[in-house]
Amino acid sequence: MIQPDRIVSTTCPYCGVGCNLRVHVRDNTIYRVTSPFDAVVNKGNLCVKGRFGYDFIYHKKRITTPLIRKVPQKPGQRTQAFDRSEWREVSWDEALDYTADRMVEIYQRDGSHAMAVYCCAKATNEDNYLLQKLFRALFRTNNVDHCTRLCHAASVVALQMAIGSAAMSNTASEVILSDVFLLTGSNTTENHPIISLQMKAAVEKHGAKLIVVDPRRIEMVNWATLYLPMKPGSDVPLFSAMAHVIIKEGLMDREFIEQRTENFEAFAQSMEKFTPEYAEQISGVNRNLIIDAARMYGSAERAAIFWALGIAESTHGTANALSLINLALLTGNLGKPGTGLNPLRGQNNVQGASDSGAMPWHYPGYQEVDVEENARRWEELWNIEPGGLNRERGLTTTEILGAAHPGGVRSLYIMGENPMMSEPNLNATRKHMENLEFIAVQDLFINESGAFGDVFLPAAAAFEKDGTFTNTDRRVQRVRKAVDPPGQARPDWEIICDLAARIEARLGRPNSAFWAYRHPEEIMLEMGRAVPAYAGVRYEHLEPVGPQTPVPTPGHPGSPYLYADTFPRGRAKFHPLEYVPNAEMPDDEYPLVLSTGRVLEHWHGGTMTRNSSLDELHPVALLDIHPEDAERLGICHLDPVRITSRRGSVVARAKVTEKANVGVVFLPFHYREAAANLLTNDALDPQAKIPEYKAGVVRVTKARWEELPTDDYQPRGRY
Amino acid sequence: MTDIDLSLLTPVLEKYGPQGRTALLPALHAAQDIYGYIPEPVAASIGMALNVPLADVYGVIDFYAMFYRAPVGETHIHVCNDPACAFAGADSVFKRMTQTSTINGGTGEMRVTVELAPCLGLCEHAPAVLVQEKPAGRTQVQSWKDLVRGSIPHQRSIVGGDIRLLTRNCGKNRTTSLEEYEDSGGYAGLRKALSLSPAEVIAEVKASGLVGRGGAAFPTGVKWEATASAPGDPHYVVCNADEAEPGTFKDRVMMEDDPHRVLEGLIIAGYAVGARKGYIYVRGEYIQAYHTLEEAQEEAEAAGYLGENILGTDYSFEIEIRRGAGAYICGEETALFESIEGKRGFPRVKPPFPTTHGLFGQPTAINNVETLANVPLIMTIGAEAYRQMGTEKSPGPKLFCLSGDVVRPGLYEVPFGVTFRHLLFDLAGGLRPGREFRGALFGGAAGAFATPDHLDVVLSFENLRAAGLPLGSGVITVFDDTRDLYDILLRLSRFFAEESCGKCYPCQIGTQRQHEILVRMAGGDIRPEDYQRLTDIGRTMTDSSLCGLGQTAASAVLSAMKYWPQYFTTRQA
Amino acid sequence: MDESIKLTIDGQPVTVPAGVTLLQAAEMAGITIPTICYHVATTSNALCRICVVEVEGARTLVPSCVAKAADGMVVHTDSERVRLSRRTILEMLVSSVDLSEAPEIQTMMAEYQADPQRFPDAERREPPVLDDNPMYIRDYAKCILCWRCVQVCAEDAQYTFALNFSGRGYETQIGTFYDHPMPETTCVFCGQCVGVCPTGALKPKREWLLEQGYSPDEVMELTRTDRRRRRRDSIE
């Protein structure tokens, strides 16, 4: 048996749960990952990714030296270079000088609006804080965003509108205190596996009742008291019908409404039309089920709502989220344990990256860029002349690429993201990427986006650097270096600082915004000086239990649940709602609705998991299709099928399963050989600018076996 | 595997699916009746229909010896392997069968599977076999073909004794009908009980001094009182008819010959503890008893003794009869609950006790068949008259199962207080001519040895306790001077090694280690350290095992070491 | 229930809150009782019986991991009778399975002077290593049947129910439905089972390969199965 040289405590780099890890290291090699059984987040439990999925750091395709493209790339003719032979190995000096030269050249020629950056929800708070600081302080641009835009942007916007703050109101593990919890648009079992364990325990051991509202018959339905199999996009009418019933039957919390909310009358009036009968017509859910759900949620002492991207990734995602917020406000299910509005955040640090200002409309701490007072605060902190920072809202993720044309965005810096897998309508994304003048990529592997780059900066993985992640329930936790980065790979924060100093020198800025950090903690302390929620975060206080933000002062125990007495905006606001159909509705040509999402074994664009032994467990894309639909189309289990939308077409195997409901198919988006986002609709929610990932329309036809991009199906018995 | 017709299973799934996990054993029995074994797709279908995880379904199938996950012969023969049948020549019966038949091969009638089995509860008919679940006795004198065809006439019971209260309707080689039972005073006890309050019934049973006849000798009335007063609803009563202690067959005789007495006792128990449902868990090998009880249950329902508003009162009670599937451990009360709940028969940690946390976690009174058979008698004649029988501390009648080297093996009913000598010589006819009494195993495999010095011991709880002998369930296996002690011990140790559930370490490993040492000793290789090894294993199992099985698994060996220590230090002829 | 309980452990008067087990009560008194199957994150089943103690008046020894402290109890955690049971159980265990990767049990054996050769007749449990998935191996020759893996796969954590038992008694082994390879079961490879295994019977495949001297690079190749890949980049 292997005796460890050291066992390093850190935080899982996959999902937003933020499981605590113990990384066992021998000879600078990780050989085992465990978890402490007293960890408040995960109580010693992990999922397959957390326990076994770290091995991507050892994959031979890992890039360990800086690279520059051999053939210079021209806008409009940019190509992808996956093969290492198309790249030249260079020194860090050469790579960073080259990057600084190219970016400064474009900035000085075209100005701030030509510069853009994708920060990274997988990187640390410190990394993200620094990268947005680099672009804001040096290039004076707010074209700073990250994948939160593609994920919970609608939830964030809606919560900002109604509450004034965008995070989970409560702690995930409080679900055992709930009498009832409503789960919608979240396949928790696969996407937040450890939270799903707590939910199952809540049902099995603590007597909680679960209401699942979802267009897929997800595994959590097995634990549900009520399952409402809604049609995709019918969220607003369905949840508003629940509100309608709650109002009609007097199940609302009048005291709470009176004392803590505003705009109830207008809201109540707008709910009039959302009768259960009306909602049944649109959602396909039996009216009595809707009434039962309303009564169950409405009459519970403590009821919580958990949701994820099934709500947010929609052209009416903001309204969807508001329909849930309305329910919680109506019943007073906020401000106490076991209740709340709980958007389950996807990435390990999407909460933290957002907190750290990787957003086009906000400085760190959700301080709006177009508020003078905020800009002045950051100018002072960053040693910038008054009026120096850009006061205009920047472009969002999808808008940045949409603006990739002469006169628009010319330079894109990508840290760890993979828009060529994660953007909707990838054929359009490809065109945009091709049109850019300069692309710098900071990552572990040459992924589909990195292949478009001019320069590749090899970064250290989460197990190879220090910092903090903020998990889905606002808990700030330590990330620790367990092993040395391979080759010349460097931690992101070091790369950014090194690059920033070179840019600063080239720009000849008289005062430095300061880039000479000795340790990531110094970065956190700097951010805390201007972000009250992080003002008290000190590395030595993050263990054994990471505090939940807001942490206003050092030693503050953190805030497990929010809004006990007041809301950030004072009174919470009800929002009247209207039903708006999806951007595309099924028709004769495209009769099926395509939902996309993740599977347990993979992570997003697959940069990590598809270079891990995880890929052995789920090596190919499978299209979930209901037996009735399959029979109608003459498709048998595991047959090759072609899935075609107005935007593209892919071939995958069919998984005939009752997990899919009739009329709705599901394809995971991890597989570049059958990329679901070739099919998805890039129509955006008007408020949150989030695309409609979960409700494009497609047709499914039989394909020939030769058309299958890969043929290494692994039989599995799970879910 | 490919040609499994799952449509045959549909009625089974429809019947048992809605009941959920508790119906797992009944569903598996039904499936095995259809397919002869339990093919994998069948197990999967059952798991899905009953909402039992597939791994758990498999765990249950593999726990019970009577469930097969691979095909077995069309004719399936179990040959009893325990001491009483071994004395009568079981080994040569098995040898003859395996040599004459085409094991797991051949076709049609001759496609036969023969396997050794633990005690079949047919000890008075030794050597015994089960042919397709049909019992056959005295098999050493039967023709092979007759055996395989199952055409052997079988005498069901041999019953005698000084008194015939519990067994008055037994030994007629047929089942006592409801009418006959009523004519003999049957169900009068129930009428009496229903005219009293449950508390009064409990008081009467307490006053009778009745203690459990399954082996633990716990006062029945106290158990009922604790169950009746335990919080929680529903309450259950369970009849433990998982009789599997080697040498024991009394419960089988009661159930086969006089099933209504058992039902009546259970109904009264149900009334006393406030249960609306009772279970009878019948040993898997006792298929005849199972069917007899089912028929009696129908008769009783039709006559209004069971069901809604029994005999016009407010009291309603139903009985579900369950079959075990080949696991001695399920005679342990909590393992039996687990089995009814559709799980592997792992005994539970006690406390909590069944009276508060029993079947399905609810307050439960569980009683042995013979215990319940005493109840109608007590209700009919009254506690006072009942106490006139037996000794002061051991009132009432007692059934003894005598088998082994006696002239007339059988079931004998006596009042507590007679001597072992009386039972052995006066009732069972003593040993065969020319043979000497060498010893007897009291209490079955879990029991202890008696020597000629014990012949005059008085059969009562208090006297036996003083003599260091367990009464157990009233089983006495007698052996004469020709028997090989090693062989007897070997069979007992093998029995425990095979029947240990494997839950707690002392029993899981101890029964195996004990058996391995005895195998070597029986082969003539006895080592100086063996005595201490067996002592340590025995003390550890006795002291530290989780349930009664492990706690008594070394009992016989330790008692043999006490009386015949020389056998454990040097080879004895 | 917030009343306190007074008992005597090893001659020492101890006051503990109602509801605690004897194991916890002893710990509060600074007395360590050895355990094998006990785990803070799993339901106690009193399987290994290493934690048995002598309670005056009790017929048998009492498993302290589940037995509740009661008023007036007189408990001996290290009496001769207790030590005999512990030693014999350890000797029987080591005669059955490979404890080479169970350092805690080895330490216990030294403390109780357990003789690894006590049972020369012992038939050991030595099934072959099961290497049927990319994440972990199952070496049941090291399995002590502590049940932790089965429990965390079920209600103690994961609610996945991929594992149960096959056989019974000494032949008991942890198994899947009809012995299917792990990927074909409901297993989701969370590895909760690996995380609670005390003897190295369940081990990350990567660790297992590294132990055998493979380099990290070679391990990445070996954890990949032999399925042929016919991949083409549909985006390109």
What is the CATH number for A376? 3.40.50.740
Does position B68 have pLDDT exceeding 70, yes or no? yes
Q: Calculate how close chain B gets to C97, using CA atoms only, in Å.
A: 11
What is the rounded CA–CA span in Å between residue A242 and residue A264? 16
**Any domain includes A315:** yes
In the prediction, which pLDDT does B233 show? 95
Please give, rounded to a whole number of angstroms, the shortest distance from the CA of B62 to a CA of chain C: 5
3-state secondary structure C152-178: HHCCCCCCCCCCEEECCHHHCEEECHH
Query: Which residues in chain C have their CB less than 8 angstroms from residue B465's CB?
Result: none
Q: Which CATH superfamily is domain B159-388 in?
A: NADH-ubiquinone oxidoreductase 51kDa subunit (3.40.50.11540)
For position B357, what pLDDT does the model report?
98
Cα–Cα dist B201/B194, whole Å: 9
∠ CA(C112), CA(C115), CA(C121), 5° rounding? 140
Q: Is residue A480 domain-shared with residue A623, that is, in the same domain?
A: no
* Residue limits of CATH 3.10.20.600 in chain B: 397-480
Rounded to whole angstroms, the Cα distance separating B270 from B316 reads 9
Look at B506 and C49 and tell me if their CB atoms are within 8 Å. yes
In chain C, what are the domains? 1-124 (3.10.20.740), 136-222 (3.30.70.20)
Residue A688, domain extent: 592-707
C-alpha span between A533 and A476 (Å, rounded): 11
pLDDT, residue C226, reads 45
> Which chain C residues are closer than 8 Å to A430 by Cβ?
235
In a shared domain, residues A401 and A305: no
A379 close to A372: Cβ distance less than 8 angstroms: no
Task: Please identify, among A511, A526, A559, the residue that sits at the C-terminal boundary of a domain.
Answer: A511
Number of domains in chain A: 3
| Burial track A277-307 (b if 16+ CB lie within 10 A, e otherwise) | ebbbebbbbebebbbbbbebbbebebbbbbb
Task: Collect all residues with Cβ–Cβ distance below 8 Å to A83 and sequence separation of at least 6.
Answer: none
Interface test with B, best of C48, C177, C180 (most B CBs within 10 A): C177
Q: Does B183 touch chain C (CB under 8 A)?
A: no
What values do phi and psi take at A486, rounded to 5? Answer: -75, 150
CB within 8 Å: A200 and C159: yes
Beta strand pairing status for B437-442 and B475-480? Answer: antiparallel
Cβ within 8 Å, pair A420-C235: yes
Does residue A335 sit in the same domain as residue A210? yes
Chains near B with 3+ CB pairs less than 8 A apart are: C
Nearest CA to CA, how far is C210 from chain B (Å)? Answer: 31
User: In this predicted structure, what is the pLDDT of residue C218?
Assistant: 85
A132 and A164 share one domain = no
Question: Which part of chain B has CATH 3.40.50.11540?
Answer: 159-388
Q: Which residue from A224, A175, A215 is spatially nearest to A309, judged by alpha carbons? A: A215
Q: What is the pLDDT of residue B147?
A: 76
Q: Which of A154-163, B86-95, B421-430 is predicted least confidently? A: B86-95
Range(s) within chain B of domains with CATH label 3.40.30.10: 75-149
Cβ contacts of residue A471 below 8 Å, gap of 6+?
Answer: A11, A16, A17, A18, A41, A345, A348, A349, A351, A477, A546
Give residue C234's pLDDT: 36
Give the pLDDT band of residue B110 (cuts 50, 70, 90).
Answer: low
Q: In 10 A of CB C129, how many CB atoms?
A: 14
CB count in 10 Å sphere of residue B481: 12
Q: Decide which of A309, A327, A343 is a domain's last residue.
A: A343
Pair (A232, A254) in one structural domain: yes
Residues 309-348 of B with CB under 8 A from C: 327, 344
pLDDT at B143 over 90: no
Contact C191 A80 (CB under 8 A): no
**Is A252 part of a structural domain of the chain?**
yes
Measured between beta carbons, which residues in chain C are less than 8 angstroms from residue B40? 177-178
Residues A402 and A493 in one domain: yes
- Average pLDDT per run of 10 along chain A, which is 719 residues long? 96 97 97 97 97 95 97 95 97 98 98 98 98 98 94 94 93 96 98 97 97 97 97 97 98 97 97 98 98 98 97 97 98 96 96 96 96 97 96 96 96 97 96 97 97 98 98 96 98 98 94 94 97 96 93 94 94 97 97 97 96 94 98 97 98 96 97 96 95 96 93 84
d(CA A228, CA A245): 16
- A492 sits in which H/E element: helix A492-507
Nearest-angstrom CA–CA distance, B325 and B285: 7
Residues A334 and A186 in one domain: yes
- DSSP state letter for A137: I
Whether A353 is in a domain gets the answer yes
Residues 457-486 of B with CB under 8 A from C: none
d(CA A262, CA A241): 20
- Evaluate whether residue A328 is within a structural domain: yes
**pLDDT for res C219:** 87
Considering the domain architecture, whether residues A207 and A320 belong to the same structural domain is answered as yes
Q: Burial level of B2, CB count in 10 A (0-12/13-18/19+)?
A: exposed
> Do B533 and C154 make contact, defined as CB atoms within 8 angstroms?
no
pLDDT-derived band at C225 (thresholds 50, 70, 90) equals low
Residue A498 counted as domain residue: yes
- Examine the pLDDT at C169 and tell me if it is beyond 60: yes
Q: Are A491 and A459 in contact (CB under 8 A)?
A: yes
Report the residue from B40, B53, B533 with minimal CB separation from C118.
B533
Length of chain C: 236
Mean pLDDT over residues B253-281, rounded?
98
Q: Average the pLDDT over B412-429 and give the result.
A: 98
- The arrangement of strands across the sheet holding B159-161 comes to B159-161, B410-415, B397-404, B475-480, B437-442, B448-450
Q: How many helices (H) and strands (E) does chain A have?
A: 22, 29
> What digits encode the pLDDT tens for the residues B432-456?
999 999 999 999 999 999 999 999 9
pLDDT computed for residue A510 by the predictor: 81
Instruction: Please indicate whether, in this complex, the C-beta atoms of A32 and C191 are within 8 angstroms of each other.
Output: no
pLDDT at C2: 60
CA–CA dist B360, B353 (Å, integer): 13
What's the confidence (pLDDT) of residue C224?
63
What pLDDT is recorded for position C223?
A: 67
Bridge partners (DSSP) of residue A692 are A681
Domain B75-149 bears CATH identifier 2.160.10.10: no
Architecture of the CATH domain B485-568: Up-down Bundle (1.20)
Contacts of A718 in chain C (CB under 8 A): 160, 185-188
A252 and A366 share one domain: no
* CATH number of the domain within which A690 lies: 2.40.40.20
* A600 with C185: Cβ contact below 8 A: no
Q: Do C60 and B57 touch (CB under 8 A)?
A: no
Domain boundary among A467, A490, A511: A511
A268 and A320: one domain?
yes
Q: What architecture (CATH level 2) is domain B397-480?
A: Roll (3.10)
**How many CB atoms are located within 10 Å of the residue B174 CB?**
12
Interface membership of C198 toward B (CB under 8 Å): no
Secondary structure class of B38 (helix, strand, coil) = coil
3-state secondary structure chain C: CCCEEEEEECCEEEEEECCCEHHHHHHHCCCCCCCCCCCCCCCCCCCCCCCEEEECCCCCCEECCCCECCCCCEEECCCHHHHHHHHHHHHHHHCCCCCCCCHHHHHHHHHCCCCCCCCCCCCCCCCCCECCCCCEEECHHHCCCCCHHHHHHCCCCCCCCCCEEECCHHHCEEECHHHCCHHHCCCCCCCHHHHHCCCCCEEEHHHHHHHCCCCHHHHHHHCCCCCCCCCCCCCC
> A247 lies in a domain?
yes
> pLDDT band at residue B107, thresholds of 50, 70 and 90?
very low
DSSP A349-417: THHHHHHTT-SSSEETTTEETT-HHHHHHHHHHTT--TT-S--S----HHHHHHT-STTS--EEEEES-
Write out chain B residues lying below 8 Å of C163, CB-based: 55
Q: Number of Cβ pairs closer than 8 Å across B and C?
A: 159
pLDDT confidence of residue B102: 54
pLDDT at B100: 65
- Residues of chain A with Cβ-Cβ distance to C195 below 8 Å are 34-35, 44-46, 51
The gap between the terminal CA atoms of chain A, to the nearest Å, is 34
Return d(Cα A91, Cα A183) in angstroms, integer.
Answer: 50
Answer whether A718 sits within 8 Å of C217, measured CB to CB: no
**Residues C51, C34 contacting (CB under 8 angstroms):** yes
Question: Residue C1 above 90 pLDDT?
Answer: no
pLDDT at position B113 is 85
Q: Which residue has the tokens 């259950």?
A: B236
Task: Determine, yes or no, domain membership for A531.
Answer: no
Task: Check if the beta carbon of residue A348 is closer than 8 Å to that of residue A128.
Answer: no
What local confidence, expressed as pLDDT, does residue B109 receive? 47
Distance CA C40, CA B92 (A): 54
The H or E element containing residue A637 is none
pTM of the predicted structure, to 2 decimals:
0.95
HSE value, Cβ hemisphere, 13 Å, CA-based, for A195: 28
Q: What is the pLDDT of residue B106?
A: 45
Give, in order, the Cα–Cα distances in Å from A42 to each of A189, A194, A462, C181.
Answer: 14, 6, 19, 28
